[in-house]
């Protein structure tokens, strides 16, 4: 399966930085062919400006959240059809930072996932245990519950395993931990969704960088990476794309 490398810019990028980053990505990626799918998820404020540039560079556009409703009295929120209107194709949902800072529950994430699918977006649903859950030996149980609670019936999309203890630390999970969890997630997806679960893409996220990516991407059931810090510089992001399987 073709792998996918997704950049999650989080709350970073004023217009000048965003332009420079996309110009750098476009120039460097033009030299790579064939390559994996590449998605970048800038903050909402940059989506409309960057959409044409990214399209020209063959880079897909993603967002970092959406509301569960199509429209209405939700001050400050952005709906899935609004994202589609701007040319967005993917949306990250249930990132641990949103679960923590915006009190998003599995149920919230599930409702947003339904809305994203209905609008024609590909949801990238994040799951992952925290340090305490890991120390207690509850990593798989936690992720199992999150998958069951966050993915709706008829789910079609991508699942990103992002252990919270690895995000932004510079220290990714070990190859063995990733292999064990990816196999567990695959089994859960097949249990819940039958044959469709066999081909759903599973990503690893959490301190992926140029040094560890060659250990991570070859792991069975890992179909790509969700990348934070290393997506903010073209020189750090492009080597990840280069390391990905193109078929
Ligand atoms: P990181 O972030 O690569 O900076 O650890 C990953 C993420 O939170 O998606």
Average pLDDT for residues 199-225, to the nearest whole number?
Answer: 97
Mean pLDDT of the 70-81 span: 98
- CATH number where 131 lies: 3.20.20.70
Q: What is the pLDDT of residue 33?
A: 75
Backbone CA torsion sign across 136, 138, 142, 143? positive
206 lines ligand 1 (CB under 6 A): yes
The structural domain count of the chain equals 1
> What digits encode the pLDDT tens for the residues 89-106?
999 999 999 999 999 999
CA 190 / ligand 1 centre spacing (Å)? 26
Going by pLDDT thresholds of 50, 70 and 90, the confidence category of residue 149 is: very high
Ramachandran area for residue 170 (φ above 0: left; ψ -120 to 50: alpha; else beta): left
Contact 128, 165 (CB under 8 A): no
pLDDT tens, residue by residue, 160-209: 999 999 999 999 999 999 999 999 999 999 999 999 999 999 999 999 99
Whether ligand 1 lies within 6 angstroms of the CB of 205 is answered as yes
| Interval between CA 206 and ligand 1 midpoint (Å) | 5
Residue 167 near ligand 1, beta carbon < 6 Å = yes
Read off the pLDDT of residues 11-36 as tens digits, 9 standing for 90 and up.
999 999 999 999 999 999 998 875 79
Which residues constitute the domain of residue 44?
Answer: 4-243
Nearest CA to ligand 1 atom 3: 228
Mutual angle of helices 139-150 and 106-119, in 10-degree steps: 50
What's residue 247's pLDDT? 59
Sequence-distant (6+) residues with CB within 8 A of 17 are none
Q: Does the annotation flag 247 for ligand binding?
A: no
Q: Any catalytic annotation for residue 107?
A: no
In order of 93, 154, 169, the CA distances from 173 in angstroms are 21, 30, 10
């Amino acid at each position: 399966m073709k792998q996918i490398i997704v950049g999650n810019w989080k709350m970073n990028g004023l217009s000048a930085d965003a332009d420079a980053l996309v110009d750098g990505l476009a120039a460097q990626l033009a030299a790579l062919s064939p390559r994996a799918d590449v998605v970048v998820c800038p903050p909402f404020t940059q989506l409309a400006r960057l959409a044409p540039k990214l399209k020209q560079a063959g880079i897909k556009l993603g967002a970092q959240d959406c509301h569960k409703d199509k429209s209405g009295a939700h001050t400050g929120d952005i709906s899935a059809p609004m994202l589609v209107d701007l040319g967005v194709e993917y949306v990250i949902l249930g990132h641990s930072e949103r679960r923590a800072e915006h009190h998003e529950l599995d149920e919230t994430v599930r409702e947003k996932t339904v809305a994203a699918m209905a609008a024609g977006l590909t949801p990238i649903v994040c799951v992952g245990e925290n340090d305490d859950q890991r120390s207690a030996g509850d990593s798989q149980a936690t992720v199992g519950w999150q998958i069951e609670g966050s993915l709706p019936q008829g789910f079609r999309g991508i699942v990103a395993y992002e252990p919270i203890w690895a995000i932004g630390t510079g220290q990714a999970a070990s190859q063995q931990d990733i292999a064990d969890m990816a196999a567990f997630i695959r089994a859960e997806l097949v249990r819940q969704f039958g044959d469709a679960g066999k081909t759903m893409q599973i990503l690893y996220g959490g301190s992926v960088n140029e040094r560890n990516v060659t250990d991570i991407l070859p792991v069975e059931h890992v179909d790509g990476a969700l990348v934070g810090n290393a997506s903010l510089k073209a020189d750090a992001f492009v080597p990840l794309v280069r390391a990905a399987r193109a078929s």
